[in-house]
Structure 1
Amino acid sequence: MDSFLASLRGQLTLRGCVIGLIGCIVITASSVYTALKLGALPWPIVFAAIISLFFLRALGSRSLNEANVTHTIMSSGAMVAGGLAFTIPGAWMLGLADEISIPEILVVTLGGVALGLVCTGLLRRYFIEEARLEFPMGIAAAETLKAGSAGGKVGKKLFGTMGLAGLYTALKNFVPGIPAIFLGNVSIPGVAFGIYNSPMMLAVGFLVGTGAVVAWFAGAVFANFGIVVGGTAAGLWTTEAAGGIVSSLGMGLMMGCGFTVIAKNILPAGVRALRRALAERRGSAAGAAGADAAPALASAPRGVAGLAALLVAAAALALCLALGVHPLVSVAVVALTFITTAMSAQSVGQTGIDPMEIFGLIVLLLVAAFSATAQAALFLIAAFVAVACGLAGDVMNDFKAGHVLDTSPAAQMTGQAIGAVVGSFVAVAVVVLLLGAYGPDAFGVGKEFVAAQASVVATMVSGVPSVEAFVIGIVAGMVLQWAGLPAMMIGLGVYLPFYMSFTAFLGAMAKVAFDAMQKRRQAGLSPEQRGQRQADAQETGLVVASGVLGGESIVGVVLAMLAVLAA
């Protein structure tokens, strides 16, 4: 125990916890809003790293490990928020809001957090040290901290853009005459054409990456102008039928991508890693094979292993009591969640993408196929799995950053647990807050909160509009992903309203223009000067885009709170 406590000293500090928890509350709340509003949730890990280092430096700390643990606390609630936002609102779309209580949502969320922490603790060494996966967001966070990018001018840029974006968001809400969609008066039957009046959406396009957004936009063009406009003009189907085809095809593409990632990359390595880790826990592994798979918890005090077992049992019991399902169903969900968290870690490590709602859907469909489980309980099961998988992706990114910076895994895991538990309460509170402020009819494609992933879950529970298009989408998604093409992003473009995809595309084009302008400015400089200018430009773009994203999403949550108070 002494060695365990020693590993926390200087890394998990009181000031770091205070800074991390304040940031965790803000980021978790804004992540719920972002996920529901945009149907996407960019990783907040780099943003959290910048904020953590900025405030710790202001308090006189120069420790990168302390900043790393602080940002671990700060970002840990975001993917918990994603797990809820990508699943639970689907129940509201089916009129089941009264059948899911706040305590049930909270119990399921905390259960998912507990299982996600245990699974990642078991598998940390394999995925981080042995498999040597890229974990691009974790590497980005480590490099951000190493560069010390949260100093004076950077802090002004960050908070300045956050303030401007927040002010503009408030003006949109209170000043009449500012349209929600520019060019929205352009009428194309079946196509939601226009430019979304959302700086946050532009920032998403800027941050995600040009190649990924181009694939996203290509899917949108194909769906809206190929299937809807072209197919309707050719007399193949009506505009209404085209909408069902497009939504079914988009869901199929995303699910096909998920299946292929599982079959090709995740399942073989994930299952082997899980078996080796559990064998090591039983003391049956030996020699080099045992060393390769040694889990992070192996070197922890024996009481930690007992706590892990207790958390697993508590998660299973929580499912059983909160959902009213058969104990065997609860045990099966817990077992499947162990597997899906390994899949999630593998996916994030290889692609930087965590399709947490796809994993929730897989478990949901398996449960529905073999048991008579109520629809409301199915949504809670999907949320349980999605929260665990979302947290697993975040934990592994943080562990990768810690591995680069030589941060104590024990300090990071402790910080992650603190932030995830607090984030659970915040995420549930904001989800309930938005439901109370806007009502269940505000959630769904084309409504106030697009909630694209939750809409997919709802559709799968209630029935697919076009089974043929859905099957074609699954096959196409599997083929595209197997060929190395971004099927998930293409499917997202097919599924989302065109104006959202178009706006994200404009954000990506702004990134192309920004890079071209910086390249012209660097012409004639020495290699050393060019490298420094390029690093400064990348930092500026990241900070400004992150500030825009954070400013609008935070003010969005504040506006929702005001709406509740005024009701």
Structure 2
Amino acid sequence: MSNTGTPQLTVRAVILAIVLAVVLSAANAYLGLFAGLTIATAIPAAVVSMAVLRVLGGGTILENNIVQTGASAGSSIAAGVIFTIPALIILGYWQDFRYSWVLAIAGLGGLLGVLFSVPLRRSMIVEEPLAFPEGKAAAEVLKAGENPGPGIRILALAGSLGAVVKLAAESGMRMISDNAVGSGFIGKYLAYMGTNLSPALLGVGYIVGLNVGIVVVSGSLLSWNIAIPLYHAFFLDTDPALAARIADAPAAAAAAQIWSAKIRYMGVGAMLIGGVWTLFTLRNSLLSGIKSGFAAARKGSSESVAETERDLPMKWMLVALVVFVLPLAFLYQAIVQQWTVSIPMTLIMIVAGFLFVSVSGYLAGLVGSSNNPVSGITIATILFASAVLLLLLGRQSPIGAVAAIMIGAVVCCAASVGGDNLQDLKAGYIVGATPWKQQVMLAIGAFSCALIMAPVLNLLATAYGIGAPTPEHPNSLAAPQATLMASVAKGLFGGELPWNMIAIGAGIGAAIIALDEWLKAKGSHFRVPVLGAAIGIYLPLELMVPIFVGGLITHLVERRHKLTQAPEEEKERAHRPGTLFSAGLITGEALTGIIIAIPIVVSGRADVLALPPAWHFGQWVGLAVVAIIGVMLYRVADRMRTPADTTPKS
């Protein structure tokens, strides 16, 4: 499809893309710190763009494509940042998020992701085209976007519901509880069950589906209903300090203490083995992608190409690469104060960045950006960087863990943006866009998101806390990936970790990998991704239950319409209304969480918005509210499924 001469990179499209990118990156930052997951933002942005530009007199398909391209940076930059940079707070290296440093890591890392992905476009999209499912879905939405009204109404309704529930929860007016939990002792057995009352997590579950929902909740059940009771019954005496802390504690508090001190590190071991396995399974694809990328770069520089095949010029890319890398080299030097260390750090970052952008792009082409295991890629980067830094700095270096995290943070941002860039370029390829204009727009969007990351993170950290719960912040944002990165780096550089639990987790991870390979060999539609199970082991059970319920709603919709064995494209169309409703729940709750953090920080009081006790209705009302929203999600997904439906899927 060719649209040569059609307006693309217009001023209004750029401004709208920046606004949406900033808003959606803030929402994804909250969601990622809260639940360890982010959502793709390109398709909701495309729907909003079509509606806004229509009000402004009408927009072309390529203008809308530019908007969704820039806005998609909202998920990629947020993921790159929240998976790594909070580790510097958790390690105690920073007391708050330093603006200039966060901007340099996120902004320059994102720009490197754009540059590294450019030579991969021709090989992965044109010559040996991968599926890029979200890119295809975005293109279909753009082509069928004559009537964006229904999609906007769904977004507005769901966003309002998510906002109201978040405002009524414990961090706001305290009308309903954040969690519904039941616990107790049955002899030595410590029983625990609970669920978070978050519409956003329900939406996340709908988007990821029942397979992932089963895997993550199974990981949590393993931790909370098997490992914690066993540890409490038979192994608590091996840690007298922990036993003393929970001697008179209620069952729920005792379970939380055992999980925090011991059991969650099984998730660390499973994630480590999962990250290594991910790279091993991609070894051939990685080499193939790199070779074809260089071949495509040489071919592109020697031939005259059409407008719809024109990438950023290679010579300017090389200049930009030097310009972007030099500030990072000086940043590393400011940390370690040794050029003999900062130069190898920079080289590791460049090599790992290009390699893992290739991996990320390939995975995005296979399974989509939302299922791209960027955290596994980052773990592998930190392990590799740590191995080199151990030789240069020694195991007792006080700065070694920080240096490894700094390398991993840049690579994580680059890999996340690179995979997302190729997804957007696939949509552009289908609708006839100009690649270099999309690449410029994604660079603008990524840097715009980087500008607001530090203030958003500081606001969330002050209002809610990040990392392990504290007396001041008992319901802090878990930041699971960043906590994992900090634990791994600290453990390698002189820190103390419960290595026995990590080893058990690694064994569990290996067993999960073996099970998944067996299911793959059988041709089973049900799979057990090791990183999904590891996240379940690592996070509180109550976060995983609503994700499972959301996935169950997805399955019920598919079964009702006989879609369980349908082609993926037909499923995409069927789920667009429900997915858009889910995206609205997530965005509404996340943005409200950021907004209500402002009066909390300004006043210094966590209860500044709380109503009098007579208005506190507890967990049962909260359960009823979330159940009603779940029914609404099912009805929207079911009733709105028509062949002509134009609402999108993330």
TM range (shorter): 0.7 to 0.9
> Does the CA contact (< 8 Å) of 1:114 and 1:311 recur in 2?
no
Check if 1:327 corresponds to 2:343: yes
In 2, the alpha carbon distance for the partners of 1:136 and 1:186 equals 45
In 2, the alpha carbon distance for the partners of 1:347 and 1:272 equals 13
2:193 match: secondary structure: coil
> Does the CA contact (< 8 Å) of 1:115 and 1:315 recur in 2?
no
Q: Deviations over 1:217-276 (max 9, x none)?
A: 2222233223223565566987776766642332233333332232222x3222333244
Check if 1:254 corresponds to 2:271: yes
Residue in structure 2 matched with residue 498 of structure 1 by the alignment = 541
Q: Deviations over 1:494-534 (max 9, x none)?
A: 221111111111122233344455679xxxxxxxxxx99x9
Check if 1:358 corresponds to 2:367: no
Q: 1:446 to 1:335 in 2, by over 3 A?
A: farther
Residue in structure 1 matched with residue 280 of structure 2 by the alignment = 263
Structure with the largest fraction of helix? 1
2:72 match: secondary structure: helix
Q: Deviations over 1:41-66 (max 9, x none)?
A: 12222222222222222323252222
Check if 1:403 corresponds to 2:403: no
Pick aligned residue for 1:176 from 157, 164, 174: 174
1:12 match: secondary structure: coil
Residue in structure 2 matched with residue 559 of structure 1 by the alignment = 596
**What is the deviation of 1:474?**
4.6
Residue in structure 2 matched with residue 348 of structure 1 by the alignment = 364
**What is the deviation of 1:326?**
2.1
Instruction: Kindly provide the amino acid, as one letter, of the partner of residue 337 in structure 1.
Output: G
1:25 match: secondary structure: helix
Q: 1:191 to 1:147 in 2, by over 3 A?
A: farther
Pick aligned residue for 1:367 from 374, 385, 391: 385
Instruction: Kindly provide the amino acid, as one letter, of the partner of residue 68 in structure 2.
Output: H
1:81-480 equivalences in 2 (<5 Å): 81-98=78-95, 101-148=98-145, 151-172=148-169, 173-184=171-182, 193-230=193-230, 232-233=232-233, 246-265=263-282, 267-278=283-294, 281=297, 300-301=312-313, 304-311=316-323, 313-314=325-326, 316-324=328-336, 325-352=341-368, 353-371=371-389, 372=393, 373-439=399-465, 447-463=475-491, 464-465=497-498, 466-480=501-515
Q: Deviations over 1:283-342 (max 9, x none)?
A: 7999xxx99xxxx99864465334444345436535434544521221222112111111
How large is the Cα RMSD of the aligned pairs?
A: 3.4
Q: 1:220 to 1:513 in 2, by over 3 A?
A: same
Residue in structure 2 matched with residue 550 of structure 1 by the alignment = 587
> Does the CA contact (< 8 Å) of 1:111 and 1:318 recur in 2?
no
> Does the CA contact (< 8 Å) of 1:115 and 1:311 recur in 2?
no
Q: 1:79 to 1:232 in 2, by over 3 A?
A: same
TM-score, structure 2 as length reference:
0.76
In 2, the alpha carbon distance for the partners of 1:481 and 1:261 equals 13
Instruction: Kindly provide the amino acid, as one letter, of the partner of residue 544 in structure 1.
Output: F
> Does the CA contact (< 8 Å) of 2:270 and 2:530 recur in 1?
yes
Residue in structure 2 matched with residue 45 of structure 1 by the alignment = 42
Instruction: Kindly provide the amino acid, as one letter, of the partner of residue 304 in structure 1.
Output: W
In 2, the alpha carbon distance for the partners of 1:8 and 1:80 equals 31
Q: 1:63 to 1:555 in 2, by over 3 A?
A: same
> Does the CA contact (< 8 Å) of 1:190 and 1:224 recur in 2?
no
> Does the CA contact (< 8 Å) of 1:11 and 1:65 recur in 2?
yes
> Does the CA contact (< 8 Å) of 2:464 and 2:477 recur in 1?
no
Instruction: Kindly provide the amino acid, as one letter, of the partner of residue 394 in structure 1.
Output: D
Instruction: Kindly provide the amino acid, as one letter, of the partner of residue 221 in structure 1.
Output: L
Quick check: 203-212 or 240-249, which moved more?
Answer: 240-249
Q: 1:297 to 1:563 in 2, by over 3 A?
A: farther
> Does the CA contact (< 8 Å) of 2:8 and 2:66 recur in 1?
yes
Residue in structure 2 matched with residue 29 of structure 1 by the alignment = 26
Instruction: Kindly provide the amino acid, as one letter, of the partner of residue 87 in structure 1.
Output: T
TM-score, structure 1 as length reference:
0.86
Instruction: Kindly provide the amino acid, as one letter, of the partner of residue 381 in structure 2.
Output: V
Check if 1:60 corresponds to 2:57: yes
Residue in structure 2 matched with residue 488 of structure 1 by the alignment = 531
**What is the deviation of 1:24?**
0.9
1:174 match: secondary structure: coil
In 2, the alpha carbon distance for the partners of 1:311 and 1:298 equals 23
> Does the CA contact (< 8 Å) of 1:92 and 1:443 recur in 2?
no
Instruction: Kindly provide the amino acid, as one letter, of the partner of residue 104 in structure 1.
Output: W
Q: 1:480 to 1:90 in 2, by over 3 A?
A: farther
1:193 match: secondary structure: strand
Q: 1:271 to 1:315 in 2, by over 3 A?
A: farther
Instruction: Kindly provide the amino acid, as one letter, of the partner of residue 490 in structure 2.
Output: S
Task: Give the number of aligned pairs.
Answer: 544
**What is the deviation of 1:150?**
5.7
> Does the CA contact (< 8 Å) of 1:7 and 1:410 recur in 2?
no
Q: Deviations over 1:352-391 (max 9, x none)?
A: 3222232222222222222225332322222111111111
1:361 match: secondary structure: helix
In 2, the alpha carbon distance for the partners of 1:519 and 1:233 equals 46
Check if 1:77 corresponds to 2:85: no
Q: 1:237 to 1:366 in 2, by over 3 A?
A: farther
**What is the deviation of 1:98?**
3.4
**What is the deviation of 1:282?**
6.0
Q: 1:51 to 1:100 in 2, by over 3 A?
A: closer
Q: Deviations over 1:453-479 (max 9, x none)?
A: 111112112234224214314533543
Residue in structure 1 matched with residue 252 of structure 2 by the alignment = none
Q: 1:392 to 1:100 in 2, by over 3 A?
A: same
**What is the deviation of 1:107?**
1.3
2:433 match: secondary structure: coil
- Structure 2 gap ranges (5+): 239-254, 394-398, 492-496, 521-526, 564-568, 605-650
> Does the CA contact (< 8 Å) of 1:323 and 1:380 recur in 2?
no
**What is the deviation of 1:120?**
0.5
Residue in structure 2 matched with residue 525 of structure 1 by the alignment = none
Q: Percent identity?
A: 25
> Does the CA contact (< 8 Å) of 1:210 and 1:511 recur in 2?
yes
**What is the deviation of 1:417?**
0.8
> Does the CA contact (< 8 Å) of 1:256 and 1:473 recur in 2?
no
In 2, the alpha carbon distance for the partners of 1:369 and 1:535 equals 43
